[in-house]
Amino acid sequence: MKQDHSFYFLLLLLFNLLLQSYSEKSNGVCVSPGGRFRPFLSEGKPPRSTRDLTLCRMYKRNTCCDVSHTHSALLSIRKLASTGEANQECLHLWEVLECSLCDPDVGVKPGPPVICASFCERVFRACADAYFSMDAINQVLSPCGVGDFVCGRASEWLHNGTELCRAAGFSVKTIRDAGLSVEGASCYGGQASLDSIADSWKRSQTSTSPNNVHNGLLEDFQQWVTEMPFAERVSWVVGGLVLTVGLFFMSKRKRHRQRQMQAAIIRAARIRQLDSKTDQRPSTTQGTRKAAVR
Ligand SMILES: *[C@@H]1O[C@H](CO)[C@@H](O)[C@H](O)[C@H]1NC(C)=O
């Protein structure tokens, strides 16, 4: 009888330990990613809710990021939009990529954000014609900025999405690494994380005040997301994100116009430069890449 008791006690203890280790795993603490990314202020603490993100607001309820992270992401997107000459789809996808850092699941894992290879391919396809440069100090690929002397189209510098994501300072999980399991359970940008973005939109929708201008749009968005096949869903999740940036851009429209003019001037200068280069340039793509890097 006494033995029975101690047996159950041991079982309970084991169960308790198991539960504890499991909950520690699922509710980790923020670990700074290193590399080109700024350290987290909330290092060693669990992801928390924050009000002052300037971008990636879908993570405002649960994130390791603070305003310094979203601000540098915002700068990156603005560079891509102006001097980078990126199209809308590229901008949307780059935003999702930059926001990976703020995903609570990403923030609690050490090392740079792990991005799904399929998502990187998508970014590469959309951004093939946008201009990027290589940061001389960090050796990191970033959108072409006003002060960058050497900028080239992504398609001229890089072969594929994996290369793009790695060059931009991210880690990439290929489908082979993921094995037979569904891609996205262990990397950012797969179906699982896009679904969780949609979920966090739903949550922030139900708790916002009635005068929130997004409300109608968000309802539509949520409904569409649930009805849509995956491929279309991706672009909708992405389109929805841009609403948050859109408002920010609107208040800065005047400055944006100045920037557009600046970009036009730079573009003209670059075209002239390219024109003088085309005369000597060989016609193979290999040659183009070399010419662009030089
Ligand atoms: C991407 O390009 C690199 C360099 O050419 C190559 O080594 C790598 O296998 C390619 N990856 C994929 C997924 O195509």
Per-residue pLDDT of the chain (294 residues; tens, 9 = 90+): 455 555 554 444 444 444 444 444 446 999 999 989 999 999 999 999 998 888 998 899 999 999 999 999 999 999 999 999 999 999 999 999 999 999 999 999 999 999 999 999 999 999 999 999 987 777 889 999 888 878 899 998 899 999 999 999 999 988 665 554 555 568 898 876 666 666 665 555 454 444 443 444 344 444 444 444 444 444 444 444 444 444 344 444 545 555 655 565 556 555 545 555 554 444 444 433 333 443
Tell me the CA–centroid distance for residue 82 and ligand 1, in Å: 29
Is 32 buried (19+), middle (13-18) or exposed (0-12) by CB count in 10 A? middle
Using a 6 Å CB cutoff, which residues line ligand 1?
159-160, 162-163
pTM: 0.62
Is 112 a member of any domain?
yes
Is 187 a member of any domain?
yes
Tell me the CA–centroid distance for residue 158 and ligand 1, in Å: 9
**Tally of domains within the chain:** 1
Is 210 a member of any domain?
no
Is 97 a member of any domain?
yes
Tell me the CA–centroid distance for residue 161 and ligand 1, in Å: 8
Is 175 a member of any domain?
yes
Is 170 a member of any domain?
yes
pLDDT at residue number 214? 40
| Domain extent at residue 85 | 37-204
pLDDT at residue number 186? 81
Is 173 a member of any domain?
yes
State which of 163, 165, 183, 187 you would mutate to test the pocket of ligand 1, scoring each by most atoms of that ligand within 8 A of its C-beta. Answer: 163
The owner of tokens 């946008």 is 130
| Residue bearing the CA closest to ligand 1, atom 4 | 159
State which of 157, 158, 160, 166 you would mutate to test the pocket of ligand 1, scoring each by most atoms of that ligand within 8 A of its C-beta. Answer: 160
Tell me the CA–centroid distance for residue 234 and ligand 1, in Å: 24
Is 236 a member of any domain?
no
Cα 111–Cα 114–Cα 118 angle in degrees, nearest 5: 160
